């Protein structure tokens, strides 16, 4: 016997209501249903002096805390790797805990086994949003109160670009390119980095359509620029502008197309961008920062309102896909 239409209509209405409640928790929206990313509260991280770090034991150096699936943390990890900061900054890779809805720290550090615990240890209230990336300074001795230096990726990558390390570390933001890098940031942050989330977290069709248009319009601008000058966004040199774009584009086919609906055009419709992504992935140590299985598990497994059955899809193989020749349009 088929289900009466009234029953289906009621179930849909009920589910829609519940879905909105869950989304309010996950991704706040404005009155029109456009996703509104919450602001980070700690944006004043300062670059420590070499002298300050040189008196520290390895364990008492500041720690950069990231999560593998988080694209905002991925930017900081890239700068960490590209500038080889391991002698002056420790790296902690936290794991998503879908049941508790928080980041786990394993093994525990400073007596804390969760990121929220660490934020609290730094004096933040229990209601504080504990996000990655974050830089925490435990202080030179165990008597010091640990400090949360910053938790805004855009700012942290600038700080990490000046973080004391070996003299041969590349400068990813040379002064003559500051304006250009900032102009890319102004375009790419809202329309691409956040744009994929604005597509995925849109509450209605109009909000999705708006985000999707801005996203693909911005990709067209990048494609044209790479065609005009390249091979990097600011010309000859890889800069923070490229670092900011990569974590979003490398997750494209694995997460943002299937889960967030960023599917208006496949990435291979942008041949220069396709080559740019191959070029970036082939830079030393970049592949070590990519964990497609972790991305799939975290996004599909933890974003419950978008994937209530939590089924994690298979493939595609990242390296094989990125290194394939894009088909002709
Ligand atoms: N503004 C932050 C955003 C970071 C962010 O949203 N991180 C997410 C993971 S992708 C997070 O840690 N969320 C945990 C939470 O909201 O409780 C940045 O760019 O650094």
Q: What's the pLDDT tens digit per position in 47-104? A: 999 998 999 999 999 999 999 999 999 999 999 999 999 999 999 999 998 777 789 9
Is the distance from the beta carbon of residue 100 to the nearest atom of ligand 1 less than 6 Å?
Answer: no
For residue 247, pLDDT beyond 80: yes
For residue 141, pLDDT beyond 90: no
How large is the average pLDDT for residues 95-119? 92
What are the E-state strand segments in the chain?
63-67, 90-97, 102-109, 112-114, 134-137, 147-150
Distances (CA, A) of 154 to 71, 74, 148, 157, 160: 11, 11, 16, 6, 10
Is the distance from the beta carbon of residue 299 to the nearest atom of ligand 1 less than 6 Å?
Answer: no
For residues 234-252, one letter each, b for 16 or more C-beta atoms within 10 angstroms of the residue's C-beta and e for the rest, the string is beebbbbbbbbbbbbbbbb
Coil vs helix vs strand at 133: coil
Q: How far apart are CA 179 and CA 201, in angstroms?
A: 31
**Dihedral sign from CA coordinates of 209, 214, 217, 222:** negative
The atom number, within ligand 1, closest to the CA of 156 reads 20
Is residue 82 within 8 Å of 285, Cβ to Cβ? yes
Token pair of 86, please?
Answer: 């391991």
Is the distance from the beta carbon of residue 186 to the nearest atom of ligand 1 less than 6 Å?
Answer: no
Residue bearing the bigger pLDDT, 260 or 329: 260
Q: What's the pLDDT tens digit per position in 10-41? A: 999 999 999 999 999 999 999 999 999 998 78
pLDDT the model gives residue 315: 87
The atom number, within ligand 1, closest to the CA of 129 reads 17
Q: What's the pLDDT tens digit per position in 164-222? A: 998 899 999 999 999 999 999 999 999 999 999 999 999 999 999 999 999 999 999 99
All residues at 6 or more sequence positions from 102 whose CB lies less than 8 Å from its CB, including other chains: 114, 115, 116, 130
Is the distance from the beta carbon of residue 70 to the nearest atom of ligand 1 less than 6 Å?
Answer: yes
For residue 131, pLDDT beyond 70: yes
Number of residues assigned to the chain: 329
The atom number, within ligand 1, closest to the CA of 102 reads 17
For ligand 1, atom 6, which residue shows the shortest CA distance? 131
Q: How far apart are CA 313 and CA 248, in angstroms?
A: 19
For residue 107, pLDDT beyond 90: yes
pTM of the model: 0.96
Q: What's the pLDDT tens digit per position in 250-299? A: 999 999 999 999 999 999 999 999 999 999 999 999 999 999 999 999 99
For residue 316, pLDDT beyond 90: yes
Q: How far apart are CA 15 and CA 3, in angstroms?
A: 16
Ligand 1 centroid from CA 228, angstroms: 34
Q: How far apart are CA 253 and CA 266, in angstroms?
A: 8
pLDDT the model gives residue 2: 83
For ligand 1, atom 11, which residue shows the shortest CA distance? 131
pLDDT the model gives residue 1: 66
């Amino acid at each position: 016997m088929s289900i009466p239409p009234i029953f289906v209509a009621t179930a849909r209405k009920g589910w829609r209501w519940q879905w909105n409640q869950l989304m309010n928790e996950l991704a706040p929206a404005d009155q029109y249903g456009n996703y509104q990313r919450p602001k980070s509260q700690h944006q004043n991280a300062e670059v420590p002096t070499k002298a300050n770090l040189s008196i520290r034991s390895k364990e008492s150096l500041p720690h950069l805390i990231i999560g593998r699936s988080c694209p905002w943390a991925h930017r900081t990890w890239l700068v960490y790797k590209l500038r080889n900061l391991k002698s002056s900054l420790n790296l902690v890779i936290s794991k998503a805990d879908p049941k508790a809805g928080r980041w786990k720290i394993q093994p525990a550090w400073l007596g804390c086994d969760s990121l929220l615990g660490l934020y609290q240890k730094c004096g933040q209230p229990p209601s504080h949003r504990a996000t990655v990336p974050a830089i925490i300074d435990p202080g030179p001795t165990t008597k010091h109160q640990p400090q949360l230096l910053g938790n805004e990726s855009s700012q942290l990558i600038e700080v990490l670009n000046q973080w004391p390390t070996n003299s041969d570390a590349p400068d990813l933001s040379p002064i003559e390119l500051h304006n250009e890098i900032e102009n890319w940031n102004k375009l790419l942050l809202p329309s691409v980095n956040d744009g994929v989330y604005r597509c995925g977290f849109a509450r209605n069709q109009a909000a999705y359509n708006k985000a999707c248009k801005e996203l693909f319009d911005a990709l067209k601008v990048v494609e044209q620029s790479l065609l005009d000058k390249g091979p990097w966004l600011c010309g000859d040199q890889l800069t923070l502008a490229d670092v900011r774009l990569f974590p979003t584009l490398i997750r494209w086919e694995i997460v943002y197309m299937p889960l967030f609906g960023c599917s208006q055009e496949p990435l291979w419709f942008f041949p220069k961008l396709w080559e740019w992504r191959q070029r970036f992935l082939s830079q030393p140590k970049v592949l070590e920062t990519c964990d497609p299985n972790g991305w799939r598990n975290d996004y599909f497994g933890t974003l419950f309102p978008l994937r209530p059955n939590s089924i994690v899809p298979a493939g595609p193989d990242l390296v094989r896909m990125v290194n394939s020749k894009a088909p002709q349009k």
